[in-house]
Amino acid sequence: QVQLVESGGGVVQPGRSLRLSCAASGFTFSTSGMHWVRQAPGKGLEWVAVMFYDGTYKYYADSVKGRFTISRDISKNTLYLQMDSLRAEDTAVYYCARDGYCTNTTCYFFAYWGQGALVTVSS
Amino acid sequence: QSALTQPASVSGSPGQSITISCTGTSSNIGSYKLVSWYQQHPGKAPKLMIYDVSKRPSGVSNRFSGSKSDNTASLTISGLQAEDEANYYCCSYAGSGTSLFGGGTKLTVL
């Protein structure tokens, strides 16, 4: 069965960096699109970033563009989110999610979710 | 882009039907058949309920249905049950590889 397990969350000071990891299993990671979605405490969901199924394209929400980088290591079946220049408003639970049920394309919906990793940006 | 617009809350009695609306623009909902809906219970990860406007994933009850007209998508839950009480979020493809969520709707089963 599909499993997504995030790690790397914690407390970090404003302006510093943090890298989240998402270990994937139960599906073919190398041909699956992957997303990061976040949820600030008591707030709604916000899409953060996507890496296309073949790794060729990456897109970001305007709120994180230029500061966050999505990447993957196929040999480790792991998705990453490098977060630089962190701000208080980046405080949230970060979920990794597998893109739809498509093969060799991007479906733009989130079929499977991890349990989330909490990132708190505070001095 | 601004979030898609959903009502903050809706309510219904067991056995009734409710509809949650999700209003966007011609740049997102109005241009693509890529609307999805998610159910989230407190403290849990979201769960996919509807994708591609009206398709249900395997295992999701047929009490859940989705539709779209122009710039507005809708989620209908029929035969309300206590376990349906949760937060519901719509999401649409918004072009240029990006996705956009609604603000969320809290469903209360009376």
Give the model confidence (pLDDT) of A90-99 as tens digits. 999 999 999 9
pLDDT at A45 over 80: yes
Q: In the predicted model, is pLDDT for residue B84 greater than 80?
A: yes
pLDDT at position A104 is 78
Residue whose tokens read 């990794």? A96
Residues A31, A121: Cα–Cα separation, whole Å: 33
Confidence band of A103 (pLDDT split at 50, 70, 90): confident
Most A CBs within 10 Å, among B31, B48, B100, B106, to test the A interface: B48
- Rounded CA-CA distance B51/B34 in Å is 7
Tokens found for residue A2: 């599909």
Decide: A77 and A23 in contact? Cβ < 8 Å.
yes
C-alpha distances out from residue B89 to A44, A48, A85, B51, B95, Å? 8, 15, 29, 12, 19
Q: Does A100 touch chain B (CB under 8 A)?
A: yes
**Residue A58 Cα, gap to closest chain B Cα (Å):** 8
Minimum mean pLDDT range among A16-20, A105-109, B65-69: A105-109
The distance of B58 to chain A (nearest Cα, Å) reads 11
Per-chain mean pLDDT for chain B: 96
Model pLDDT, residue B42? 96
How confident is the model at residue B1, as a pLDDT? Answer: 74
Convert the pLDDT of each residue in B26-79 to its tens digit: 999 999 999 999 999 999 999 999 999 999 999 999 999 999 999 999 999 999
Distances (CA, A) of B78 to A1, B15, B103: 29, 7, 22
The pLDDT of residue B54 is 97
Whether residue A106 has pLDDT greater than 90: no
Please state, in angstroms and as integers, the Cα–Cα distance from residue A94 to each residue in A38, A80, A90, B91, following that order: 4, 11, 10, 17
DSSP bridge pairs for A79: A22, A72
State the pLDDT at residue A121: 98
> Which is nearest to B40 in space by CA: B103, B8, B76, B88?
B88
Residue B89 binned pLDDT confidence (cut-offs 50, 70, 90): very high
Name, in order, each residue with C-beta under 8 angstroms of B65's C-beta and a sequence gap of 6 or more. B50, B54, B56, B75, B76, B78
Nearest to B34 among A44, A60, A108 (CB): A108
- Interface probe for B, chosen from A56, A110, A112, A118 (most Cβ of B below 10 Å), is A110
